[in-house]
Amino acid sequence: MARAVTTRRKAPVTVLARTISLALFFPILWTVILSFKTEGDAIASARRKPCRGLLRLEGRRHQRDGRQL
C-alpha cells in the first residue's frame, strides 16, 4: 500500500516543475511572437532594453514630452 503524500511535500515539487516548464516554454513563445514581426523589427526589439530610461529623470521627461526613448 502506498503512503499518502501531504500537500506540504508536494508544493515544492509543483513549484519547481512549473518553473522548469515556463523556462522551457518561453523560447517557443518568444519565437512565435517574433514570427509576426518583420526581420528589422525583430532585431531592433532584441537589442532594445525594456527598462531603459524608466528609472532616470531624463527618461521620464522624454515620456512626458511624447518623444521616443
23-63 pLDDT tens trace: 999 999 988 988 888 888 877 776 766 555 555 555 555 55
- At residue 5, the pLDDT reads 84
3-class DSSP state of 1: coil
pLDDT at 40: 84
Gap between the Cα atoms of 46 and 39, Å rounded: 11
Q: Is 0.85 surpassed by the pTM of this model?
A: no
Residue 14: pLDDT over 70 = yes
Q: Residue 68 pLDDT more than 80? A: no
Rounded to whole angstroms, the maximal C-alpha distance in the chain is 70
Check residue 56 and give its pLDDT: 56
